[in-house]
Amino acid sequence: MTGLTGDFELDGDTLHEECGVFGIFGHPGASALTVLGLHALQHRGQEAAGIVSYDKGQFIAERHLGLVGDIFGKNSAHTATLKGSFAIGHNRYSTAGGSAARNIQPLFADLTGGGIAIAHNGNLTNARVLRAKLVQDGAIFQSTSDTEVIIHLTARSSFVPVVDKLVDALKQVEGAYSLIALTSKKLIGARDPWGVRPLVLGILEGAPILASETCALDIIGAEFVRDVKPGEVVVITKDGIESYFPFQQHAGRFCVFEYIYFARPDSNVEGRNVYAARKRIGEQLAKESPVAADMVIPVPDSGVPAALGYAAASGLPFEFGIIRNHYVGRTFIEPSEGIRHFGVRRKHNPNRAILAGKRVVLIDDSIVRGTTSKKIVQMVRDAGASEVHFRVASPPTKHSCFYGVDTPNEHALLAHEMGLDEMARFIGADSLAFVSMDGLYRAVGEDRRDPSAPRFCDACFSGDYPIRVTDPMENAQLSFLAEVA
């Protein structure tokens, strides 16, 4: 889910997944388990978290800024209030200035026929058009989130019961969504017809669970049942689980970037283990772009599996030549203007004893603006490396994402503006190579040249957007930027 208005400022040179969702139905420890599930999904959103539970005819909501552990940790008063055996939760990536608190999910509303809480991962690509019409018709929005558009459309639907209202609303929206909704009697999961963002079904002691990734099941000892399918709506009640396919069917276009960077490496998404896929991308990269060198080093943490794959396929030793500080928060305060250029050192520090005099293959998952890559290459050179060959475990990121990942405008993307040699000069590398699109598909077990093989969304590399973007492109882009505090 993304914000639709607000001030914005891009703070970084990495792509960010926007949200993680978790829901559990019929377990006495529902809210505590949701806290743990959200904690496992923390990588999908670090700015805010919320949980809505249902108990004795009442929905209870706790939504706050901060990390899951800080909000709902041990002895937290917030967790104590969340009674009941049904709960859904949401991790939100980012916030937009003054509108931050009111955009924290799950969003909740009282409708004819009862209340509904919704937690959404993705981004709607016609939200602005729909919102403008709803406002014209008298709707009063409480937040700037595109998810609230779904709430208003659900509220206005003439269908009954509430599941049919929600499906009626989802038939009107375009874009990417994996969402979880809670009513007084039902837990509902829905994935857009292209299945861009992940959603899995699990079970713990007879209680069904919906979550963005399998790592959220692992943390609570739940069993993985299956992925929710593209275009599927699952309705969980005390009588069991029902499955519907109410939307026009499309071939799935799962986000291939989930394998490259967004999902946790210990998760399985769409039937593939993320760590194994990343390692195979590194192997492909070594086959496609070998280089004479002394060692392979990752930009930690996200470059590690691909670097292991590159090292295995090339026969070069793998070394931790850069050490990552795991205690750097987004709220870190720069000491003063004068030493701001040490920014990258807050997070990464070179291991001089390993790097001095060595020809290094440096592996990272992607290049966005290129400014961080440039600093890391310089840092490795300053630590004494004699050559730095940069290898990227994704094709060049040339286009913006409109489906739930914050990306800069495409003119700020290095690969959109420059060719390979110019990019290599810009980041200061002796050589630069990206994995090919065919190699990427091969690494995730598919043949891109085979028209009958599954396709992914790869629009940020190819510009081939599977879902239309009805909102004006510039404005749709703003919705991502508005998310970044």
Which of 134, 457 has the CB closer to ligand SF4? 457
d(CA 305, CA 283): 10
Query: Which of residues 134, 361, 405, 444 is near ligand SF4 by CB under 6 A?
Result: 405
Give the phi and the psi of residue 265 in degrees, each rounded to 5: -60, -25
Which of 390, 403 has the CB closer to ligand SF4? 403
Nearest approach in angstroms of CB 147 to ligand SF4 is 17
SS (H, E, C) 269-317: ECCEEHHHHHHHHHHHHHHHCCCCCCEEEECCCCCHHHHHHHHHHHCCC
d(CA 479, CA 240): 38
481 lies in the site for ligand SF4, by CB under 6 A: no
Nearest approach in angstroms of CB 183 to ligand SF4 is 29
Structure tokens at 135: 């406002």
Query: Which of residues 255, 296, 424, 443 is near ligand SF4 by CB under 6 A?
Result: 255
257 lies in the site for ligand SF4, by CB under 6 A: yes
Q: Contact region for ligand SF4 (CB under 6 A) — 22-30, 214-222, 253-261, 470-478?
A: 253-261
Q: Contact region for ligand SF4 (CB under 6 A) — 124-132, 232-240, 272-280, 456-464?
A: 456-464
d(CA 304, CA 265): 10
Nearest approach in angstroms of CB 255 to ligand SF4 is 3
Nearest approach in angstroms of CB 354 to ligand SF4 is 33
d(CA 104, CA 485): 14
**Helices and strands, counts by H and E, the chain:** 18, 25
Structure tokens at 125: 């690509």
93 lies in the site for ligand SF4, by CB under 6 A: no
Structure tokens at 330: 């987004």
Query: Which of residues 71, 236, 460, 482 is near ligand SF4 by CB under 6 A?
Result: 460
Can 460 be counted among the known catalytic residues? no
Query: Which residues from 189-228 bind ligand SF4, rule CB under 6 A?
Result: 196
Number of residues that bind ligand SF4 (CB under 6 A): 11
Give the phi and the psi of residue 116 in degrees, each rounded to 5: -145, 135
457 lies in the site for ligand SF4, by CB under 6 A: yes
Cis check for the bond before 301: say yes or no (omega within 30 of 0).
yes
Which of 263, 379 has the CB closer to ligand SF4? 263
Torsion of CA 309, 314, 315, 319, to 10 degrees: -60
List the catalytic residue out of 19, 215, 401, 457.
Answer: 19
Which of 54, 403 has the CB closer to ligand SF4? 403
* Cα–Cα separations (whole angstroms), residue 309 to 162, 278, 323, 395: 48, 8, 19, 16
Which of 368, 405 has the CB closer to ligand SF4? 405
256 lies in the site for ligand SF4, by CB under 6 A: yes
459 lies in the site for ligand SF4, by CB under 6 A: yes
Per-residue binding letters, 409-448, with ligand SF4 (x by CB under 6 A): ----------------------------------------
Give the phi and the psi of residue 359 in degrees, each rounded to 5: -90, 120
Coil, strand or helix at 97: helix
Binding site for ligand SF4 (CB under 6 A): 196, 255-257, 401, 403, 405, 457-460
Which residues carry out catalysis? 19
